[in-house]
């Protein structure tokens, strides 16, 4: 029985106690072996028992457990930063380490503001997209468009953020509209919003290359981000790409933006960088932004106690070495295609499965009341939560979310298994997820 003293996410939860990890499985005190088909929250990309990463952390702790970055740098931080810059999109030259995705988003918002001040411009507005998610701290929450997460904290959120339409072709395209026309239409909302607010006030546009938790693994249509980049360049607006969930190999390339052929000014990573072995995230910055600060005030007015933590950076180095040294990106693409096919074979004609989508091992299933009309399920039924419970009863973890369409309506589940899954694991995951959906939404009903 869990301790009564832990403040759980859900107060009424009676959670099993995790006591061990074995590859893609989490082991519980009561003897269950649960397949982690969601990577927790798209975190555990190497599974739960990678000895190379564990050994690297132990070795770093033997050398140096902690050194405050106000006084020191460390070999681990310097090495990981160099590795990331060498692999990052063109122009990225600096890495600012943090402890997670929300911290990365906060840092980016503040840096965007300071960057323009360093150049004598008073820009402060951030534009993002509806149905996005950038973190749970107040700045990140304000930037995000997840209405369910924002609602009760709305009075605390800044009005310096505004939101344009998401890019979700399957759900929002008009009848007969091509992907190219749709992408251009919704991308041009950014220009309209910049002009509405005043270009001289807009500091940055923030977006997820593949939208994760809020919409369920939705990639942008081809050409969307090319137009977004053109608009940002035209009005001098920074482009911040949030790859906290979709980056670090999750979608089949180390940086998700590679597939969209777009150059960000700032890119945010976390989750898969530490693979769950240590809490770590990073804000990667265009060299020009860093130089504006370096040649101006000389100091980014920001910081966290555990940024650049040597053990966390050692974990990040080991994770990257494992992903690259074992050829895991190829496996992400191969097993992602196999898992998509397996899900489509089992669920493609299910009357309540509207869309199976994603990229790499970052997949979403959107659930509907009617697949032909795309009518939504009753939000009060909380179908996504029921499917999570049914899946867990079948010893498989998935990541559910409601409010897929507008914060209230729509249900989806997110699937993000470790990069190490095999063809046999694909069949197990597909079988159990299809069974769980059938438990809650029988096809014959």
Q: What is the 3-state secondary structure (H, E, C) of 147-172?
A: HHHHHHHHHHCCCCEEEECCCCHHHH
pLDDT at 23 over 80: yes
Q: What is the DSSP letter of 395?
A: T
The Cβ of residue 183 has, within 10 Å, a number of other Cβ atoms equal to 23
Q: Which fold has domain 18-49+327-440?
A: 3.90.1150
pLDDT at 445 over 60: no
Q: Is 358 helix (H, G, I), strand (E, B) or coil?
A: strand
Q: Is 301 helix (H, G, I), strand (E, B) or coil?
A: coil
Which sequence spans correspond to the domains of the chain? 18-49+327-440, 53-325
> Counting Cβ atoms within 10 Å, is residue 235 exposed (0-12), middle (13-18) or buried (19+)?
middle
Q: Is 96 helix (H, G, I), strand (E, B) or coil?
A: strand
Percent of the chain with pLDDT over 70: 99
**Lookup: tokens for 125:** 């507005």
Q: How far apart are CA 98 and CA 139, in angstroms?
A: 15
Q: How far apart are CA 259 and CA 251, in angstroms?
A: 9
Stretch (H or E) spanning 313 = helix 310-325
- What is residue 165's predicted lDDT score, i.e. its pLDDT? 98
Taking alpha carbons only, the member of 104, 57, 72 closest to residue 278 is: 57
Q: What is the rounded average pLDDT of the residues 250-264?
A: 97
Q: Residue 109: CB partners within 8 Å, gap ≥ 6? A: 126, 139, 140, 143, 204, 206
Residue 27 CA from chain centroid, whole number = 25
Backbone angles phi, psi at 362, to 5 degrees: -135, 90
> Counting Cβ atoms within 10 Å, is residue 66 exposed (0-12), middle (13-18) or buried (19+)?
middle
Q: What is the DSSP letter of 265?
A: S
pLDDT tens by residue, 270-313: 999 999 999 999 999 999 999 999 999 999 999 999 999 999 99
Q: Which value, to the nearest 10 degrees, does the dihedral of the CA atoms of residues 306, 111, 302, 147 take?
A: -70
pTM over the 0.95 mark? yes
Q: How far apart are CA 82 and CA 95, in angstroms?
A: 8
The Cβ of residue 427 has, within 10 Å, a number of other Cβ atoms equal to 14
Residue 19 to residues 28, 48, 205, 255, Cα–Cα distance (Å): 5, 11, 42, 32
Does CATH place domain 53-325 in 3.40.640.10? yes
Q: How far apart are CA 272 and CA 326, in angstroms?
A: 16
Whether the domain at 18-49+327-440 and the domain at 53-325 fall into the same CATH topology: no
> Counting Cβ atoms within 10 Å, is residue 371 exposed (0-12), middle (13-18) or buried (19+)?
middle
- What is residue 10's predicted lDDT score, i.e. its pLDDT? 87
pLDDT at 444 over 90: no
pLDDT tens by residue, 78-118: 999 999 999 999 999 999 999 999 999 999 999 999 999 99
pLDDT tens by residue, 363-393: 999 999 999 999 999 999 999 999 999 999 9
Binning pLDDT at 50, 70 and 90, where does residue 1 land?
A: low
Q: Is 294 helix (H, G, I), strand (E, B) or coil?
A: helix
Residue 235 CA from chain centroid, whole number = 27
Yes or no: say if 209 and 264 are a contact pair by the CB < 8 Å rule. Answer: no
Arithmetic mean of pLDDT over the chain: 97
Taking alpha carbons only, the member of 217, 214, 235, 233 closest to residue 225 is: 233
Supply the DSSP string of 188-235, one letter for each residue.
Answer: HHHHHHHHHH-GGGEEEEEE-SEE-TTTTSEEPPTTHHHHHHHHHHHH
Q: How far apart are CA 378 and CA 375, in angstroms?
A: 10
Longest dimension (CA), the chain: 67
């Amino acid at each position: 029985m869990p301790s009564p003293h832990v403040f759980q996410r859900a107060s009424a939860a009676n959670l099993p106690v995790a006591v061990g990890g074995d590859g893609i499985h989490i082991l519980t005190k009561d003897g269950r072996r649960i397949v982690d088909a969601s990577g927790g929250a798209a975190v555990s990309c190497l599974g739960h028992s990678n000895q190379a990463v564990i050994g690297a952390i132990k070795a770093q702790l033997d050398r140096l457990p902690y050194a405050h970055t106000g006084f020191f740098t460390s070999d681990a931080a310097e090495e990981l930063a160099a590795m990331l810059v060498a692999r990052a999109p063109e122009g990225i030259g600096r890495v600012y380490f943090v402890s997670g995705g929300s911290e990365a988003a906060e840092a980016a918002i503040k840096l965007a503001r300071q960057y323009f001040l360093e150049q004598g411009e008073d820009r402060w507005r951030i534009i993002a997209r509806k149905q996005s998610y950038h973190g749970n701290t107040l700045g990140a929450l304000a930037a995000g468009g997840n209405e369910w997460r924002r609602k009760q904290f709305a009075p605390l959120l800044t009005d310096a953020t505004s939101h344009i339409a998401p890019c979700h072709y399957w759900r929002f395209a008009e009848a007969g509209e091509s992907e190219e026309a749709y992408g251009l239409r919704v991308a041009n909302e950014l220009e309209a919003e910049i002009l509405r607010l005043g270009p001289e006030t807009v500091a940055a546009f923030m977006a997820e290359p593949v939208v994760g938790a809020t919409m369920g693994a939705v990639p942008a249509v081809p050409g969307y981000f090319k137009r977004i980049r053109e608009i940002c360049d035209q009005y001098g607006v920074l482009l911040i790409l949030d790859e906290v969930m979709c980056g670090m190999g999750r979608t089949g390339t180390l940086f998700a933006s590679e597939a969209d052929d777009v150059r960000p000014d700032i890119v945010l990573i976390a989750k898969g960088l530490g693979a769950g072995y240590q809490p770590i995230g990073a804000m990667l910055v265009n060299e020009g932004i860093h130089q504006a600060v370096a040649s101006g005030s000389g100091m980014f007015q920001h910081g966290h106690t555990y940024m650049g933590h040597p053990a966390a950076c050692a974990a990040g180095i080991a994770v990257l070495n494992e992903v690259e040294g074992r050829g895991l990106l190829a496996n992400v693409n191969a097993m992602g295609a196999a898992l998509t096919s397996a899900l489509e074979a089992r669920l493609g004609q299910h009357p309540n499965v509207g869309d199976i989508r994603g990229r790499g091992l970052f997949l979403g299933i959107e659930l509907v009341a009617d697949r032909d009309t795309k009518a939504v399920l009753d939000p009060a039924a909380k179908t996504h939560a029921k499917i999570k419970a049914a899946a867990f009863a079948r010893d498989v973890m998935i990541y559910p979310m409601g409010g897929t369409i507008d914060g209230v309506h729509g249900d989806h589940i997110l699937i993000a298994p470790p990069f190490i899954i095999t063809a046999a694991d694909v069949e197990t995951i597909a079988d159990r997820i299809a069974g769980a959906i059938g438990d809650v939404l029988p096809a014959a009903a």
